[in-house]
Structure 1
Amino acid sequence: MTHIEPFLKKVRRTIEAHRTGQLGGYRQKLSDPLAADLYGTADAVILLYTLGELPEAGSSEHQHLVKILQSFQEPKDGFFSAASHHPVHRTAYAIAALELLDSKPCHPLTGLHTVKSRAGLHAWMESLDWAHLPWRESHKGAGIYAAMVLAGEVDREWEQWYFEWLDQEADPETGLWRKGAIHNGAPLFHHLASSFHYLFNQNYRKRPMRYPNQWIDTCLAMHNDGQIPLKAGALAFVELDVLYTLISAAEQTRHRENELNSMIQAIGSHLLSSITALSDGPEDALFEDTHSLCGTVCALALVQSVMPERVTADRVLRKILDRRPFI
């Protein structure tokens, strides 16, 4: 049994320490200048939502969070500005954070209007480097969906075009995206992490995996071969990507059920051990980076949901991907 409250207290102290002089503003890293940035503020929203501690709608703090996030948007093209990540990733990340605040961007996403046609959307997806940079490129391939849908820029017909393309391009051998690109460059885990980003879009609309059994076979083989890059006592998104994928597959098929459950337990146990290690140190210890912290806290919410008997806590953590896509 792992008592996660010491870790969550450290998370709360970290969020508070990342506040800036701007009301509602947060910085991503403690070593960054004391000024609000997009990722620090969006990360704070995600963390507070997961903890069940977002300011109440209508409150001054809630309004300031919304205004700060909206302030990062460029009126001329609708993209959100930040010092890192691709414009589509930061735009989707900001809009997804605004959704947690029941808000939307102030300006239309005119810089992305070329994908509003079926041909434009498919050209966008075809342009990604699926073989050599699938993980990085999935920020664009999945982000285009989250940004356009959560901003209210497209209708269900457009979503159907998007999902039909994904269905057609699912790899029948591995279950992952994209067929013809899986064994031609990047490590297999990069394809799994990439596919996770498309999976949460599908789950948002309750669309099934096309090849769930093959997806499970792929994950089990990677786990048995040591291809999943888990690091002890470290903040990361790896556990979130893998656990979300495994849990989603388990909800759709009973294929190799016992082995799959054993893998979920193994990844979950690894995360709980890391949580214990990350809780150690001085009472006033903090985490440097809110972005990697988001990955671990969101993964912890998954572990609590599937392994409740292993977790002691004063609250049930919220799972943001059950509400809306993109992380």
Structure 2
Amino acid sequence: MTDIRPFLAKIRRSIAAHRTAAADGYRRKLSDSSASADLYGTANAVILLYTINELPAFGTDEHLAFVSSLQQFQDPHTGLFNGIGHHPLHGTAFAISALELLDSKPLYPLTDLQELKDKAALYEFLAGLNWVREPWAESHKGAGLYAAMVLAGEVDAAWEDAYFNWLHEETDPATGLWRKQAMHTVASAPLFHHLASSFHYLFNLNYRNRKMRYPDAWIDTCLQLNNAGEIPLKADALSFVELDVLYTLICAASQTEHRAAELQAMIHAICHHLLNSVESLSGGPDDDVFEDIHELCGTTCALALVQSVMSGQIVSGRILQKVLDRRPFI
């Protein structure tokens, strides 16, 4: 049994420590200025509180303060949300998906994205992403566009169908991933980068209950990477890697019995790895906090998946909420 309550307590302390003096916002890192709020710090605070089921109730002063703080990051002229360290499309999707947890929306239309409502422009945009060399980073744009437009209420079902149809046609039959043939060239990024990229499109599919086109091939790819030691799990460190991998494995396992025993063994191995890390990360003085709540968000969201798989082996006092079961993007 693993007791995650000390980790949950450290999450709470860390959120409080990252609060800034500005407009009820939060900074991403403790080393950042305590005088100004950051989009990622504020959005991650919302996601963390949602995951541990402690988000302020709708309509309370705390809830309204979160909404106002997130909305202030939107540029009224472009409609985009700009956060430090990521492309504006990522920042826009990240902020809007955090607002969704608060049952709220952006204040302004997504003006700079309006041209991508056109199907031809959408397909040109998706095809123009660097799927070969930078699939992971580029997926923040390709997946973020969908999450931002849909959660903001900017597009209709026909646009969503067009988006999913493009992904369907561009699924690689050999690996199960996106984009077709992108990972089979000499210049390609490592295969794990394509898996991490595809994770971002997968949660969009799941949001609308769309199935993976080649789940068996996806599983083969994951097992291949695992057997070759090419999944960069980090011991005793915060990370998004476990979330990316566990989410895709659990999704694939729900759609096929292909190599089921091997797949379940891989899932449980990663779960145990994460629980060991969480136990280690929970240590330290009673006032110890995490430096980076963006990375903390990744580990905490992954921990919610672990609990859903191994609930009988975790002492928590509560059920963690899986944020990607509610809306896309992370």
**Pairing partner for 1:221 from 224, 227, 248:** 224
Give the structure 2 partner of residue 285 of structure 1.
288
**Pairing partner for 1:316 from 316, 319, 322:** 319
**Pairing partner for 1:269 from 269, 272, 278:** 272
Cα distance, 1:23 vs structure 2: 4.4
Structure 2 counterpart of 1:4, which letter?
I
**Whole-angstrom distance in 1 between the partners of 2:259 and 2:135:** 27
Query: SS of 1:182's equivalent?
Result: helix
**Whole-angstrom distance in 2 between the partners of 1:81 and 1:90:** 5
Q: Does 1:80 align with 2:81?
A: yes
Any residues of structure 2 matched to 1:232-311 within 5 Å, and which? 232-311=235-314
Cα distance, 1:283 vs structure 2: 1.0
Consecutive unaligned residues of structure 2, counting only runs of 5 or more, are none
Any residues of structure 2 matched to 1:53-92 within 5 Å, and which? 53-92=54-93
Structure 1 counterpart of 2:89, which letter?
V
Cα distance, 1:277 vs structure 2: 0.6
Cα distance, 1:29 vs structure 2: 0.4
Give the structure 1 partner of residue 28 of structure 2.
28
Q: For the Cα contact (< 8 Å) 2:143–2:200, is it kept in 1?
A: yes
Q: Which digits, 9 at most, give the CA deviation of each residue in 1:145-179, with x for residues without a partner?
A: 00000000000000000000000000000000011
Aligned Cα RMSD in Å?
0.7
**Whole-angstrom distance in 1 between the partners of 2:24 and 2:248:** 33
**Whole-angstrom distance in 2 between the partners of 1:270 and 1:12:** 23
149-158 vs 183-192, which moves further: 183-192
Give the structure 2 partner of residue 19 of structure 1.
19
**Whole-angstrom distance in 2 between the partners of 1:5 and 1:251:** 29
Q: Which digits, 9 at most, give the CA deviation of each residue in 1:34-59, with x for residues without a partner?
A: 11110000000000000100011110
Q: For the Cα contact (< 8 Å) 2:2–2:314, is it kept in 1?
A: yes
Q: Which digits, 9 at most, give the CA deviation of each residue in 1:198-247, with x for residues without a partner?
A: 00000000000000000001101110110100110000000000000000
Q: Does 1:176 align with 2:150?
A: no
Query: SS of 1:287's equivalent?
Result: coil
**Whole-angstrom distance in 2 between the partners of 1:279 and 1:21:** 27
Cα distance, 1:84 vs structure 2: 1.9
**Whole-angstrom distance in 2 between the partners of 1:160 and 1:64:** 36
Q: Which digits, 9 at most, give the CA deviation of each residue in 1:118-166, with x for residues without a partner?
A: 0011011011000000000000000000000000000000000000000
Q: Which digits, 9 at most, give the CA deviation of each residue in 1:66-102, with x for residues without a partner?
A: 0010000001110112222001000000000000000
**Whole-angstrom distance in 2 between the partners of 1:59 and 1:113:** 33
**Whole-angstrom distance in 2 between the partners of 1:121 and 1:224:** 37
Once superposed, which parts of structure 1, at least 4 consecutive aligned residues long, lie more than 6 Å away? none
Query: SS of 2:278's equivalent?
Result: helix
Structure 2 counterpart of 1:97, which letter?
A
**Whole-angstrom distance in 2 between the partners of 1:299 and 1:23:** 30
**Whole-angstrom distance in 2 between the partners of 1:241 and 1:169:** 20
Query: SS of 2:59's equivalent?
Result: coil
Give the structure 2 partner of residue 10 of structure 1.
10
**Pairing partner for 2:207 from 164, 189, 204:** 204
Cα distance, 1:27 vs structure 2: 0.6
Any residues of structure 2 matched to 1:142-181 within 5 Å, and which? 142-181=143-182
Q: For the Cα contact (< 8 Å) 1:79–1:109, is it kept in 2?
A: yes
Q: Percent identity?
A: 65
**Whole-angstrom distance in 1 between the partners of 2:84 and 2:203:** 25
Consecutive unaligned residues of structure 1, counting only runs of 5 or more, are none
**Whole-angstrom distance in 1 between the partners of 2:261 and 2:240:** 25
Q: For the Cα contact (< 8 Å) 1:23–1:61, is it kept in 2?
A: no
